[in-house]
Amino acid sequence: MKPISLQLYTVRTLTKDDPLAVLQKIADIGYAGVEGHGFGMSNREFRRVVEDMGMRVSSYFGPFPNAENVQEFIDAAGDLGTEYTVSGFWIPDFESRDAIRKSADKVNAVLPALHQAGLSFALHNHWFEFWKIDGKLAIEWLLESAPDVDLELDIYWASAHGQNRSEQMVERFRERVPLLHVKDGPMVEGKPMTAVGSGAVDVRACIEAADPNKLAWLIVELDEYAGDMMEAVESSYRYLTGQGLGKGTK
C-alpha cells in the first residue's frame, strides 16, 4: 500500500484563521503527508512544521517553471524535502493541437534541469486534457511531443465528466504516474465532489491499475464539497485505509 497525502487546496477555506490547527487535524486523522506549501511560512519552516506533526511534504505543486525561475522551483522542492514536483496548464494551453505543441515546448524547456536536479516533474490534469482532439486524447498529443514528463493523474477529472473510464486512463498512462490524485464525485459537470468512496469513480480499480513500482503517493483532493470539508477529508482517509488501498500513520 502507498502512503496517503492530502492536497492542501482541499482545505483552503479552513486555513485562513489558524492554518496550524488545520494541519494538526490532518495529522491527527492519520495522513502521512500533505501536498502544498506556504501558509505564510518559508518552505523550510513549513517542512519543519509538517514533519514535527509526523507527516511529510509528499510533493511540491508550484507555478509552472520556466528558464528564469526553474532554479527557484528546484530550490523550493529541496527546501520542502521532496523529489516530486507538480505543475499544470489551463484550458487555452490545450484548446488546439498547436496550443498543445507550445505547451509541450514549455515542458521540454525545463525537464533537463529538473531531472538533473534529481526531481520528478509531473503534470496535473483537469478534464480538458482528457477531451479528444482529432481522434486522440489531448494529453496524448502532448506526450507525443514531451515523452519524458510524468503525470499526477487526477482520477476524477480524467473521466472528463463521464466520457472516459477513470481506471482505463490510469492503466493507459500507468508507466508515468508517480502521484495519483484520488478524487471522487458524481461525474456531472458543475456538481461538487464527494468524499472518496462515495461517488461514481471506481477508486479501487483506479489504484489497482497504477504501476506499484512507479506510484509513490495517493493524494486526496476535493475541489468543492457540499458539507463539512474536514469530515470529508477524514471520511476519505478512513475509506482508503479501511479498504486496504492506502496507508497512513494510524
What pLDDT, in 10s, does the model give residues 180-239? 999 999 999 989 999 999 999 999 999 999 999 999 999 999 999 999 999 999 999 999
pTM listed for this prediction: 0.96
Q: Quick one: pLDDT band at residue 70, thresholds 50, 70, 90?
A: very high
**pLDDT above 90 for 136:** yes
Here the contacts of 211-215 (C-beta below 8 Å, separation 24 or greater) are 211/174, 211/175, 211/177, 212/2, 214/174, 214/175, 214/176, 214/177, 214/178, 215/2, 215/177, 215/178, 215/179, 215/180
Q: How do the domains of the chain map onto residue ranges?
A: 2-247
**Res. 40 pLDDT band, cuts 50 70 90:** confident
Range 46-50 average pLDDT = 98
Residue 38 has pLDDT above 90, yes or no: no
pLDDT-derived band at 16 (thresholds 50, 70, 90) equals confident
Going by pLDDT thresholds of 50, 70 and 90, the confidence category of residue 39 is confident
* Superfamily in which the 2-247 domain is placed by CATH: Divalent-metal-dependent TIM barrel enzymes (3.20.20.150)
